[in-house]
Structure 1
Amino acid sequence: MLPLCRRPNPMPAALAVALCLGLSACAADRHAAPTASPFVSVASQPANVGDARTAALAYHNSGAYDRDVADIAAEAGRWLAARAAAVPRPALVLDIDETALSNWEIITRDDFGRPIVGPCDPAGEGPCGWAAWDQLGRDPAIGPTLALFRQARATDVAVFFITGRPENQRAATERNLAAAGYRGYVRLAMVPDGAHFTSAVDFKAPVRAAIEGEGYTIVANVGDQPSDLEGGHAERAFLLPNPFYRVR
Structure 2
Amino acid sequence: MRRLLLVLLACAGSPAMAQTVGREPANVGDAAMAASAYHDSGHYEEDLAAVLNEADAWIASEASRHPKPAVVMDIDETSLSNWPVIRADRFAYFPNGPCDALPKGPCGWAAWEKSGKAAAIPGALALFRHARALHVAVFFITGRREAERAATDANLRAAGYAGWSGLVLRPDAARTLSAAAYKAPARAAIEAQGYSIIANIGDQPSDLAGGHAVRGFLLPNPFYRVP
Aligned to 1:168: 147
Residues 21-55 of structure 1, C-alpha deviations (whole Å, 9 max, x = no match): xxxxxxxxxxxxxxxxxx99811111100110111
Aligned to 1:109: 88
In the alignment, the residues of structure 2 paired with residue 91 and residue 194 of structure 1 have an alpha-carbon distance, to the nearest angstrom, of: 28
Aligned to 1:91: 70
Q: Secondary structure of the residue that 1:91 maps to in structure 2?
A: strand
What are the residue-to-residue correspondences of 1:149-160 with 2, within 5 Å? Answer: 149-160=128-139
Letter in 1 for 2:209: E
Letter in 1 for 2:156: L
Aligned to 1:12: none
Aligned to 1:202: 181
Is 1:177 the counterpart of 2:156 in the alignment? yes
In the alignment, the residues of structure 1 paired with residue 198 and residue 214 of structure 2 have an alpha-carbon distance, to the nearest angstrom, of: 5
Match of residue 30, structure 2, among 26, 31, 51: 51
In the alignment, the residues of structure 2 paired with residue 84 and residue 225 of structure 1 have an alpha-carbon distance, to the nearest angstrom, of: 24
Please give the TM-score of this superposition, normalised by the length of structure 2: 0.89
In the alignment, the residues of structure 1 paired with residue 204 and residue 72 of structure 2 have an alpha-carbon distance, to the nearest angstrom, of: 14
What are the residue-to-residue correspondences of 1:137-152 with 2, within 5 Å? Answer: 137-152=116-131
Quote how far apart the aligned CAs of 1:198 are: 3.4
Letter in 2 for 1:224: D
Aligned to 1:240: 219
Give the number of the structure whose residues are more often helix, by fraction: 2
Aligned to 1:74: 53
Aligned to 2:7: none
Quote how far apart the aligned CAs of 1:217 are: 0.1
Letter in 2 for 1:137: G
User: Residues 87, 204 of structure 1: CA spacing in aligned structure 2 closer, same or farther, 3 A cutoff?
Assistant: same
In the alignment, the residues of structure 1 paired with residue 85 and residue 39 of structure 2 have an alpha-carbon distance, to the nearest angstrom, of: 14
In the alignment, the residues of structure 1 paired with residue 223 and residue 103 of structure 2 have an alpha-carbon distance, to the nearest angstrom, of: 22
Two-structure CA RMSD over aligned residues (Å): 1.5
In the alignment, the residues of structure 1 paired with residue 140 and residue 94 of structure 2 have an alpha-carbon distance, to the nearest angstrom, of: 24
Structure of larger gyration radius: 1
Please give the TM-score of this superposition, normalised by the length of structure 1: 0.82
Aligned to 1:31: none
Residues 88-128 of structure 1, C-alpha deviations (whole Å, 9 max, x = no match): 20000000000000000000000110111222214583301
User: Residues 40, 211 of structure 1: CA spacing in aligned structure 2 closer, same or farther, 3 A cutoff?
Assistant: closer
What are the residue-to-residue correspondences of 1:4-43 with 2, within 5 Å? Answer: 42-43=21-22
Residues 131-158 of structure 1, C-alpha deviations (whole Å, 9 max, x = no match): 1110000000000000100010000000
Q: Percent identity of the aligned residues? A: 59
In the alignment, the residues of structure 1 paired with residue 105 and residue 134 of structure 2 have an alpha-carbon distance, to the nearest angstrom, of: 44
Whether the aligned pair in 2 keeps the contact of 1:197 and 1:203 (CA below 8 Å) is: no
In the alignment, the residues of structure 1 paired with residue 196 and residue 173 of structure 2 have an alpha-carbon distance, to the nearest angstrom, of: 30
Structure 2: runs of 5+ lacking an equivalent: 1-17
Letter in 1 for 2:35: A
Structure 1: runs of 5+ lacking an equivalent: 1-38
Quote how far apart the aligned CAs of 1:195 are: 1.3
Whether the aligned pair in 2 keeps the contact of 1:91 and 1:217 (CA below 8 Å) is: yes
Q: Which runs of 4 or more aligned residues in structure 1 lie more than 6 Å from their structure 2 counterparts after TM superposition?
A: none
Q: Secondary structure of the residue that 2:142 maps to in structure 1?
A: strand
